[in-house]
Structure 1
C-alpha cells in the first residue's frame, strides 16, 4: 500500500516561507506529513518593508491543514544571531533537521529591469544581490550542522532558472543574474560538503509561477488566472506554487535522492520523473517551452508542454 504520508516524522525548515514558492513548498511538505518550521519577517503583528498581507502564521496554518505540523517563527535571515537561535530551537524541540529549503528572496521591489549596472541604483542592486545570497549562506552555516547528524538530509536552494538556461541567457539585470546563478552554484558547492555525510543538495526552480505578486501584476486571482492569457498568451504555461512544492516533497521522500546531488532541477523536469501534477492535474514544463516555443518566436501553444 502506498505511503500517503512519506515524510511523517521528518522535520523541515522552509526559510522564506511567507508567500510564493516558499509557501507552496511548505504546504506540500506538510501534506506529505512533515513538521515544517516556516520563517520570514512578516507576521500578523509586524510587516516587512514589502508591506504585503501574507504572513508566516498563515503559511503555518496551511501546513497544518494539509496534514503536517506548521510552526511559524519570525526570523530575519540576514541576522546571524536570529538564525542561530532558530536552529537551536529546532534542535531543542525536534532533535533533528531532515530538510532545509532556502527560499529567501525579497528582491521584487528592488528590481530595475533591463538596466545596465551603470544605470541601476547601486544600493538597490547590491541589496538585491545580498538578500538571496548572504541569507542562504548564513542559514546553511547553522542549519546544515544539525542536518548532517543523520544521513538522508536534503538541502534545496530555490532559484529562478536552470543552470543550463542561465548559462545561455542574460537574466535582464546583472544583480539579478548573479544572484540566481550564484544560488545554483551554491547548491553544487554544498553538495560536495554534504555527500560524505550521506546528505544531498540541489537547486530547484519553478517555472512561470503564479505567485501572489505575479497574479496581482495581472490584476487577477488564481481562480481566473487564465484571463491573463489574453494579454500574455505564453502565460498559459504558468504553474501554481504548489507544483514546485510537490517537486520538493517528491525529492525529500525519495530514498535514492543522492543521485541528484549537486544538480540543477526544475519542477517540470521532476514531474516527469516522479509523476506528480500541478493542482489542476497538468504537468507544465516551462523551461523547455520557454526555449522551444516562446523564445523561438512561435505562437503560444502548450500542446506537449503541459
Structure 2
C-alpha cells in the first residue's frame, strides 16, 4: 500500500524532524500530499548542541515539498514553552486546526552511558536525557493537542524506541534511557484516554533498527553501502530506512478506521503487515518480531 495523495488538504506537525525517523515521517506525509510543519533546533544558521550542521529543518521542509507536499520549517526548542506556544499559535492562525501530531523529539544520543547503574551514571546527562525525551513531548502535547481536537478524526503519535511489551520486560541498559522509552509508550496510552472523548486517536509507534544518518555514520557506511556493515553486525540485515516508519505514519493517518488502534503500542513492521506498504527496497522488515522470536538465523523470513 502506498498512500498516494490520500492526505491532501491535511495538516501535520512533526516535532523533531531534523533527521532520522522524524525526517522520514515528514517526507512520507508530504508524499501523501499533506502540509507538514517540521521543527527542530538545527537550522542553516544555528546548529544545536549536536553540532551536526549537515541536517537541518530547512532541508527537511524542502524534501517534504519535493515529495509532493508542502514543507514548512519552524525552528523550535521544544523545552521552551514560549517557543512551542508560538509554533502552535502560528498553526492556529494559519489553519485553525491540526490533523496529525507526531511527537518525535529526542536528542539524547550523546548522553548515553550504557551498562551503568544510576549511581555511576552522570546525573546531569541522565536528567538532561529525560528532559529531552519526556518533558519535550509533554510540553508539545500541552500546546498542540487543543488544535488536534478542533474536529473529529485527529491522530497523535508518540514515537519512541521499543514496543510497550518489549520495554516492559527488557532493561534498556541505562536507567535514564529505560525510563525515557517506557514513558513514550505510556504517554501514547495516556493521551488516548483523553483524546477518545474528542474523536481523536493516540498511539505510540516504534521503528525497528533504523538506518538513521547517525547509525550509518556509526558503522562507517552509507545508505548505498549499508550491507557492508553486516560483516560486523549480521543482525543489521533486519534494519530499515526512516521512510519505512514514515510510510507507517502516512498509512495510519489515511486510515478512516484508525481509532481501532487507540492507545496501542505499534511498530513499523507490524503496521506494514496491516497496510501492505514496503520499505524503499520493497521489503517489509519486522525487527521487533525478529527480536521477540530470539533472533533466528533466517533473517530473510523477517523481511
Q: Paired residue for 1:18?
A: 18
Q: Paired residue for 1:47?
A: 47
Q: Paired residue for 2:302?
A: 305
Structure 2: give runs of 5+ residues left out of the alignment. none
d(CA) in 1 for partners of 2:155, 2:11:
11
Q: Sort the Cα spacing of 1:120 and 1:159 in 2 relative to 1 into closer, same or farther, 3 A.
A: same
d(CA) in 2 for partners of 1:237, 1:290:
10
3-state SS of 1:128 partner: helix
Displacement, 1:40? 0.2
Q: Paired residue for 1:6?
A: 6
Q: State whether structure 2 residue 153 is matched by structure 1 residue 152.
A: yes
Displacement, 1:33? 0.3
d(CA) in 2 for partners of 1:223, 1:285:
21
CA RMSD of aligned residues (A): 1.0
Displacement, 1:3? 7.1
d(CA) in 2 for partners of 1:206, 1:223:
20
CA displacement, residues 49-69 of structure 1 (integer Å, 9 cap, x when unaligned): 101120000100000000000
Q: Are the equivalent residues in 1 in contact too, given 2:3–2:254 (CA < 8 A)?
A: no
Q: Paired residue for 1:185?
A: 186
d(CA) in 2 for partners of 1:32, 1:239:
20
d(CA) in 2 for partners of 1:141, 1:304:
42
Q: Are the equivalent residues in 1 in contact too, given 2:272–2:284 (CA < 8 A)?
A: yes
3-state SS of 1:244 partner: helix
d(CA) in 1 for partners of 2:59, 2:294:
37
CA displacement, residues 202-246 of structure 1 (integer Å, 9 cap, x when unaligned): 000000000000000001100000000001000000000000000
CA displacement, residues 238-286 of structure 1 (integer Å, 9 cap, x when unaligned): 0000000000000000000000000000000000000000000000000
CA displacement, residues 127-177 of structure 1 (integer Å, 9 cap, x when unaligned): 101211100000000100111001000000000000111111101101000
Displacement, 1:302? 1.1
Q: Paired residue for 2:206?
A: 205
TM-score by length of 2: 0.98
Q: Are the equivalent residues in 1 in contact too, given 2:238–2:287 (CA < 8 A)?
A: yes
Q: Are the equivalent residues in 1 in contact too, given 2:7–2:254 (CA < 8 A)?
A: yes
Q: Sort the Cα spacing of 1:211 and 1:127 in 2 relative to 1 into closer, same or farther, 3 A.
A: same
The runs of at least 4 consecutive aligned structure 1 residues that moved more than 3 Å come to none
Alignment of 1:103-182 (within 5 A): 103-182=104-183
TM-score by length of 1: 0.97
Count residues in correspondence.
Answer: 301
